[in-house]
Structure 1
């Protein structure tokens, strides 16, 4: 392997990872995606785009499902092969090629999962009442891109955690803490300020919510109290400030997507560095 280039090694390991995944019944991850999408869509579809609060909760549920799926896809993918990695690293394996091959497989898996999630959401009418125009392109395209970025980005984050963890048990122990951090830092469950607001910038949940909210023009929706008390709608509306993170404009959406991509790239780099540090004496 010493004289084999990055591209060739990546191709070899991608084929190997694909064979192993198919042999270990990778279809189960697709089934999980379908089951979770059915549950999410069935529960929240009825109230989507009826008011601000219900729509925000619906998007939060969808974003959380994508993040959970992504991390679950890959949380044990690296740590279960540490001994094999160490052996092949001694023979000239490039850690960057190995991680890149894993990321390529996750991209393929996440693409299939995203298609299934989006298809089921459409079938259940999740996006039925949403504006047809997104922030800069048709809404259905923006929604799909956001779903994919969340699922794929979380999968790469899972690879990072798996690279750092010593074994599958440790990885699965860390996983709930990662998920809880994502949920808390989304800005939906709690109002963030100070240090917590800064930490939220490096979470997929914050930027996933921003992207969904921007595409769905959440700021343009009535609040539930205004719908219940139409005579006081104007007064109630004045009490709520528009949230800049949900602005229905191209800039807001692009920023959210770029943050998701940036976190994904950083997770990939940390994965490579972590494996190199673990195997530096090999």
Structure 2
């Protein structure tokens, strides 16, 4: 039993080394270049609106999460299917599928760490981000962990897809549909109701965006809706005429009361500034990644019966 375990660990080391050689020799480093380019484009577009207005910040995080999911899936969606015949042959000569999958998890995890670091550096350079973090004490560390978990969960989703489909062409055909599901059912474009909530709860996008919104203290960011409503009321002459008849303290309380009403209207409990909400959503993302890894391992266990 001990020799078997050592054999598995040795295979993990061998395949991790192989993956990094492929990274170097077959220009898989382009996945890092994609992270740089996409982050730069988003940063340039979002730098004037992020953290300043509630609605634009929420939309900005949705764009960041969507891009992270795309990058994560792209990392791995062709990694297994492109060498399916090699895996089948090596499995028959002693390759442990768990070792092979574990090597991919380690390798892809390292790639995701680098990509998340790139994103944080780019966003931090172009955007005015807060310094105080809710969970770790540093906003940059908090957002790094969230982005890494989004990338990693999406990466493992790509790995699962790559283990199931029969070719790289099929993988790239499936990829847009997976992304569309992540975007539509995130709950960011329009409200999700009824049975669709079940599918929404299974998306990386939903929990990734909610974690980022909580970390940014979304509920306390000024609202564009609130500001426009207040300005509209101030422009109504009849309201001014009525308020002028009131004592100053009553007038101030009236405006303050209405402002509080609109604030409460835009306040969302799911974005409460509580560290347990962030940690819980990190847990969901890790759980997604674990399930996708399990799917990949189970799928490849039956590779010898695959007639493709």
TM-score (norm: length of structure 1): 0.93
Q: CA deviation at 1:25?
A: 0.9
- Correspondent of 1:237 among 232, 256, 263: 263
* Pair 224,273 (structure 1): closer, same or farther in 2 beyond 3 Å: same
CA contact (8 A) 1:136 1:250 kept: no
Stretches of structure 2 that go unaligned for 5 or more consecutive residues are: 235-257
1:211 equivalent in structure 2: 211
* Aligned: 1:57 with 2:59: yes
Q: Match of 2:191, SS?
A: coil
2:169 equivalent in structure 1: 169
Q: CA deviation at 1:243?
A: 2.4
- Output the CA distance in 2 between the equivalents of 1:154 and 1:99: 16
- Correspondent of 2:299 among 260, 269, 274: 274
- Output the CA distance in 1 between the equivalents of 2:121 and 2:131: 18
- Output the CA distance in 2 between the equivalents of 1:129 and 1:170: 40
- Output the CA distance in 2 between the equivalents of 1:137 and 1:258: 19
Q: Superposed, which structure 2 residues align to 1:12-161 within 5 Å?
A: 12-125=14-127, 128-130=128-130, 132-135=132-135, 137-161=137-161
TM-score (norm: length of structure 2): 0.86
* Pair 275,250 (structure 1): closer, same or farther in 2 beyond 3 Å: same
* Aligned: 1:259 with 2:284: yes
- Output the CA distance in 2 between the equivalents of 1:281 and 1:184: 33
CA RMSD in angstroms, aligned pairs only: 1.8
* Pair 84,248 (structure 1): closer, same or farther in 2 beyond 3 Å: same
Q: Match of 2:273, SS?
A: coil
* Pair 135,20 (structure 1): closer, same or farther in 2 beyond 3 Å: closer
Structure whose CA Rg is larger: 2
Count of equivalent residues: 278
CA contact (8 A) 2:156 2:293 kept: yes
CA distances 1:198-234 after superposition (whole Å, capped 9, x unpaired): 1122211011011101100112223212122435533
2:248 equivalent in structure 1: none
- Output the CA distance in 1 between the equivalents of 2:290 and 2:133: 29
CA contact (8 A) 2:131 2:138 kept: no
Structure 1 residue ranges (4+ consecutive) displaced by more than 4 angstroms after TM superposition: none
* Pair 169,188 (structure 1): closer, same or farther in 2 beyond 3 Å: same
CA contact (8 A) 2:131 2:140 kept: no
CA distances 1:36-70 after superposition (whole Å, capped 9, x unpaired): 00001110121111121011001111111111100
* Pair 131,200 (structure 1): closer, same or farther in 2 beyond 3 Å: farther
Q: Match of 2:48, SS?
A: helix
* Pair 193,222 (structure 1): closer, same or farther in 2 beyond 3 Å: same
* Pair 202,93 (structure 1): closer, same or farther in 2 beyond 3 Å: same
Q: CA deviation at 1:197?
A: 1.1
Q: CA deviation at 1:137?
A: 2.7
Q: CA deviation at 1:235?
A: 3.9
Q: Relative to structure 2, which stretch is displaced further, 83-92 or 132-141?
A: 132-141
Stretches of structure 1 that go unaligned for 5 or more consecutive residues are: none
